[in-house]
Structure 1
Amino acid sequence: MDGTSPPPSDHQEPLKDPISPLDLTPNLASLLDLARRGSWRSILDSAAAPSGSSLLPHQRLALLSFSVLALLRLRRYSHANSALQDIDFSSPDHLFQSYPHLYPDLSGSMIPFSLRFMSCILPIKLGDKPLGLDRLYSLLDFVRSRIRDVREADDANSASLAMWRRREVVVVGAILGVHLGNKDFGVCLDLIKALLDDGYEEDPVLLSKLGYIQMQIGDVAGAKRSFAKVEEVASKQEDNKEVKNLAGRNKALVYLVAKDYISAVREYEECIERDGNDVVAINNKALCLMYLRDLSDSIKVLEGSLERAPTVSLNETLVVNLCSMYELAYVNHSEIKKTLSNWIAQVAPDDFDSSCTRI
């Protein structure tokens, strides 16, 4: 993990159905439940590996994955980095076949993909974007080599191929995030178009990302074409409210950029009617109302969302916007924000950044 060494393994792994170490790890259900509830501190306690040799190699790696994830969510990046320092992703010690007496019927890497991915994200969190980006591109090469291997195999496994392709999209998404932060819009367009040309031509999320980038570079006509394709996909998936809401939010964005806030509000309201927990639509509707100088209703929209579904709606962006509206609307906004902060302390997950209330 030192220097620029890439996280992927240098050892070719047999092309068999992938076995996740997490599938073989006891008490996984309890750790997943803690993660769903945002109980990251409890995960650190539960995933702490006991001393001695009571755990198998794959189990230690699985528990390490949960520990590193919890440290990341708690923004304890240096601790997470230290936890990964001793992991050599290229070592044969992390192959199932290196322990035939323990895993007689298994082969391939026992390193969870999440560990590889987090080893790429950590340098970015620690301020070293070039190193993180180098590792992400190395991981993307690794994933694409696995995709080629699966496709070329005589007994090509569709489930395995689908899994590696999902991972490809995840890694590309992380790379896009870094390049967007650097305003490398040309690189972002190339990455997305490459995926669209390789079997993802009807992926609504990728098409939407393409449209967002086109918006940022001033290509409104191109963005509208991309968003229109998302609407076509949504029309084929009548029961998929997530895709329909994505298409609706895209339309609202076009109105928002044109400062047609009334039309944008109408689109966001349709999204909220389909899915009352669409936090993006709720937050953006409130912002549009604020731009229309209707602070009272914009505050009601955000407060109503927090009251109705706190575990879904509670995120830093929404709270920051709500506190900004308090500051604009009320003289005694400090007291109101204190009340909000106290409520957040009772219901928020461990990784919620309470400083967003700006008290």
Structure 2
Amino acid sequence: MESSDPPPPATVSDETITEEIRSLHELALRGSWKSILEKVSAARTFSQLRYPHEHLIFLAFNSVALSKLRRYSEALDDIETSIEDLDSSAYRYEAYPKVYPDKKGSMIPFSIRWLYSLLPSFLNRRQDCIDRLYLLLHFVRTKINGCSSENVEVWKKRENFVLSTIISQHSNQKEFGVCLSLIIDMLTKDGENLELISKLGYVQLQFGDLEGAKESFSKIEQILKKKNDGNASVEMMNLVGRNKALIYMVGKDYVSAVREYDECIERDGSDVVAINNKALCLMYLRDLADSIKVLENSLERVPNVALNETLIVNLCSMYELAYVNHTDIKKTLSNWIARLAPDDFDPACTRI
């Protein structure tokens, strides 16, 4: 990838590679990560990839697939052995003027940069992860300051995404003061970012600042009312509803929390957070039969979103509390999951 000359003629057409990339996207949407690894391996083995950007796109799919399958070391090795330096000029379109006329900038997919930063956290290299995430945040903010107006919104979304990842890393270590500082800093630049204000409320709850959290959640409602005059999107209305329910849960008013979650589910039947938390509230109210029914119904109605490990762990815990023959019931569930679950689903969460 160091020559500015175009690659030699290839036996595979551009249309074929484009179709292969489209196929990889479809496999990713279905969670068919093993098939993605097979396709990438075949493309590499038979030298189907001609251009630098094609190698990087296939590297991104391969790394994501390995990560989804919890093969974190292999994923990081693939990135680090394929790309010596993320900022190298060898990975810029300008290095290949005959191949990419009039194109400028880095051709490295953002997903590669994010995985390169995050993967060390799964390999007991937390400090490497934190250092790389902050470097990535700096990189994103540099892009925001330098990119054209039509692209700035994309990079702002990436900034929020990276910041959320950093906050999660600090939160996992109970470094809530750092989380609070990061959120407040972002809110000084984007004071009406509802997701950020919501995160602020969650962190305040971690500090035991119930009144502060209530104030933050109330601010979200005020901003929505001002912006939309009562016509907020379902997504934002459910954000408000889940926040209200969370305050009720903290106060152990599970009946009121269930009411709020019911309203969220009525607006959006695939709101898996509301579904899961409603079931937990019913369990706390000692209504195991209804809590189990809530989760089972969600698996029947919206298996594509409800089939996640947290929900299955909770459902199996409820089975263990409710039934003497819970092992047989969990085996039936496990068999059903095996038919529908994506490749990255961990069957061990059923605890059979």
TM-score (norm 2): 0.91
Compared CA separation, residues 261 and 231, structure 1 to 2 (3 A) = same
Matched, 1:168 2:165: no
Q: CA deviation at 1:232?
A: 2.4
Matched, 1:202 2:188: no
Equivalent residues of 2:34, 2:343 under 8 A apart: yes
Compared CA separation, residues 170 and 280, structure 1 to 2 (3 A) = same
Compared CA separation, residues 261 and 53, structure 1 to 2 (3 A) = closer
Matched, 1:112 2:105: no
Q: CA deviation at 1:141?
A: 1.2
Matches for 1:6-21 after TM superposition, within 5 Å: none
CA distance in structure 2 between the partners assigned to 1:163 and 1:245 by the alignment: 24
CA distance in structure 1 between the partners assigned to 2:224 and 2:61 by the alignment: 35
Matched, 1:257 2:254: no
* More RCO (CA 8 Å, sep 6+): 1
CA distance in structure 2 between the partners assigned to 1:316 and 1:196 by the alignment: 32
1:84 to 79, 82, 107: 79
Partner of 1:321: 314
Q: CA deviation at 1:140?
A: 0.9
Partner of 1:7: none
Counterpart code for 1:297: D
Which digits, 9 at most, give the CA deviation of each residue in 1:270-324, with x for residues without a partner?
Answer: 0000001110001100100010000010000000100111111100010000000
- SS of the equivalent of 1:85 reads helix
2:177 to 166, 183, 186: 186
Equivalent residues of 1:25, 1:62 under 8 A apart: no
- SS of the equivalent of 1:27 reads helix
2:343 to 327, 336, 350: 350
Equivalent pairs counted in the alignment come to 329
CA distance in structure 2 between the partners assigned to 1:130 and 1:28 by the alignment: 34
TM-score (norm 1): 0.89
Matches for 1:113-152 after TM superposition, within 5 Å: 113-150=110-147
Equivalent residues of 2:136, 2:162 under 8 A apart: yes
CA distance in structure 1 between the partners assigned to 2:79 and 2:212 by the alignment: 43
Q: CA deviation at 1:77?
A: 0.6
Q: CA deviation at 1:53?
A: 6.9
Partner of 2:53: 58
Counterpart code for 2:186: L
Which digits, 9 at most, give the CA deviation of each residue in 1:196-240, with x for residues without a partner?
Answer: 1112x2222111110000001011111011101222244344251
Long gaps (5+) in structure 1: 1-23, 151-156
Which digits, 9 at most, give the CA deviation of each residue in 1:48-93, with x for residues without a partner?
Answer: 3334474200111011001100111111111101101221212211
Partner of 1:339: 332
CA distance in structure 2 between the partners assigned to 1:179 and 1:96 by the alignment: 36
Matched, 1:225 2:215: yes
Which digits, 9 at most, give the CA deviation of each residue in 1:155-197, with x for residues without a partner?
Answer: xx22221121111111111100110011111111111111111
Q: Cα RMSD between the aligned structures?
A: 1.4
Matched, 1:212 2:202: yes
CA distance in structure 1 between the partners assigned to 2:223 and 2:309 by the alignment: 31
Report % sequence identity.
Answer: 57
Moved more, 230-239 or 164-173: 230-239
Partner of 1:177: 168
Equivalent residues of 1:314, 1:348 under 8 A apart: yes
Greater percentage in helix? 2
Equivalent residues of 2:49, 2:55 under 8 A apart: no
Compared CA separation, residues 30 and 232, structure 1 to 2 (3 A) = farther
CA distance in structure 2 between the partners assigned to 1:54 and 1:304 by the alignment: 45
